[in-house]
Amino acid sequence: MTSERGERPGAGSHSSPSRDDVVAEAARHADEADATRTVAPSVLAAVRASDLLIAAASPRIGGLGEPVGTTAGSLAGLAAACASAAWCVWNHLSVFHLFCGALGPDHEELLAGIVARREWVCFPAGAGSGVRGTAKGDDVLIEGRAAFGSGARYADWAGVAFAMTGPDGRVTRPPDLRFSVVRLDEAGVRVEPTWDGASLRASSTDDVAYEQVAIPGGRWAPWYGANRAQMLRDPDFGVIDPRYREDWVGLSDLWLGAMATGLVGAALDQVSSEIGGRKALMGRPMADLAGVHFNVGRAAVALHGARAAVAQGCATVDARVAAGMAPDVADELDQMASSAFALEACERAMGHLAKVLGGNGLREGHPFERRRRDFAAMPLHINAHEDRVAERMGRHLLGLELDKF
């Protein structure tokens, strides 16, 4: 089956491209993705046929269970080629980790099936989302819409958090919050192409609407929302694999930082290569200008620090997972801090490179212009937003209770 979601593994003449092959294919279609606001079907097919979508899943459900740092490296390489494609893969890897932690051992068979078929998932649950559930026999009917579902047009499943309503149609008190997954090709599910951002144009960060969509009895779990990380740290709370005691937010932050370093690294390489053949005013070689030396050097120094922060953060998580240890609050804040630092450093690096290119870096069609637009979304993501991370870190250090969100 070939569609906007890409060819499924096993369809036609199936092959298993390497991750380098995926990066090369994404690079070939990066400008096209930006112009058409759609990741090319050949890129989606390459991702599905590779092992990327199952890289971070536990071997217990058929995944590779590879180190967090290895996945980070793959995402960095893909982001250097096409940030929109990388964003969708990153979102899948991050939220599938969340799905495994939230649904747990009781839904191991469902999750293993998604891994076996190398299916794609998304989780529209951003600001403005509102989904309600109504009991109908053993099933639940959900209604509403959810926002910011990155990768929704390319995905097979969407995670959905919803509040149950009583006979009067109102949300029950206390709230009965639940979580499930819904197939995106199910009757009553509609992906609405609402993403019109200048950044990550092909990321399909779209809304998903649910109209009387039936969730089979038992295919749901309690939704702990902002208390999720605390529950996962509890040794009495069942998990499929010790890696799922790591909250998805911290992992997504580290992988987001890795993507930023990949994109900025590609921009630095491109600018450094271009400068060698450029002339400044009066024909002076740009490579002779001290301002160019300073700004290229400062960009490189900032990028070096960002890469080191991400690498250290990933290594710490990998050591903890290998030891079967659960993180504590300080560990999770460290993950966020590593990412926030890396993203801020990358932002500085992009600013230095923009000074080198001047007005030419603003021209549409120049690789830097697209990369700068795509990068702009990264430090704004709520998981790693500098303001959110700094506020939480400050409260923790002062012994104050953390805001749940």
Tell me which long-range contacts 6-13 makes (C-beta under 8 A, separation of at least 24). Answer: 6/41, 6/42, 6/43, 6/44, 6/45, 6/47, 6/48, 6/154, 7/41, 7/44, 7/45, 7/48, 7/49, 8/48, 8/117, 8/118, 9/48, 9/49, 9/117, 9/118
Rounded CA-CA distance 22/18 in Å is: 6
pLDDT of the residue at 284: 75
The letter for the amino acid at 211 is: E
**Residues 380 and 323 sit within 8 Å (Cβ to Cβ):** no
Superfamily of segment(s) 122-223: Butyryl-CoA Dehydrogenase, subunit A, domain 2 (2.40.110.10)
Dihedral angle at the C-alpha atoms of 244, 249, 251, 257, nearest 10 degrees? 180
Q: From 202, 351, 381, select the one nearest 268 (Cα to Cα).
A: 351
Phi/psi-derived region of residue 104, left when phi > 0, alpha when psi is between -120 and 50, beta in every other case: left
- Residues contacting residue 208 through CB under 8 Å, at least 6 positions apart: 122, 124, 145, 146, 149, 152, 158, 184, 189, 190, 191, 192
pLDDT of the residue at 228: 85
β-strands 157-164, 121-122 pairing = parallel
Rounded CA-CA distance 165/78 in Å is: 43
Q: What is the CATH number of domain 19-120?
A: 1.10.540.10
- Return the DSSP state at 203: S
pLDDT of the residue at 11: 40
Q: Return the structure tokens found at 32.
A: 């096209």
**Residues 226 and 405 sit within 8 Å (Cβ to Cβ):** yes
pLDDT of the residue at 405: 64
Q: Where are the beta strands (DSSP E) in 216-365?
A: 221-222
Rounded CA-CA distance 139/153 in Å is: 26
Task: Outline which parts of the chain fall under CATH 1.20.140.10.
Answer: 246-397
Superfamily of segment(s) 246-397: Butyryl-CoA Dehydrogenase, subunit A, domain 3 (1.20.140.10)
Total-model pTM = 0.94
Task: Outline which parts of the chain fall under CATH 1.10.540.10.
Answer: 19-120
Tens digit of each residue's pLDDT, the chain (405 residues):
334 666 555 444 455 899 999 999 999 999 999 999 999 999 999 999 999 999 999 999 999 999 999 999 999 999 999 999 999 999 999 999 999 999 999 999 999 999 999 999 999 999 899 999 999 999 999 999 999 999 999 999 999 999 999 999 999 999 999 999 999 999 999 999 999 999 999 999 999 999 999 999 889 999 987 778 889 999 999 999 999 999 999 999 999 999 999 999 999 999 999 887 776 766 777 777 888 899 999 999 999 999 999 999 999 999 999 999 999 999 999 999 999 999 999 999 999 999 999 888 898 889 999 999 999 999 999 999 999 999 999 999 999 998 766
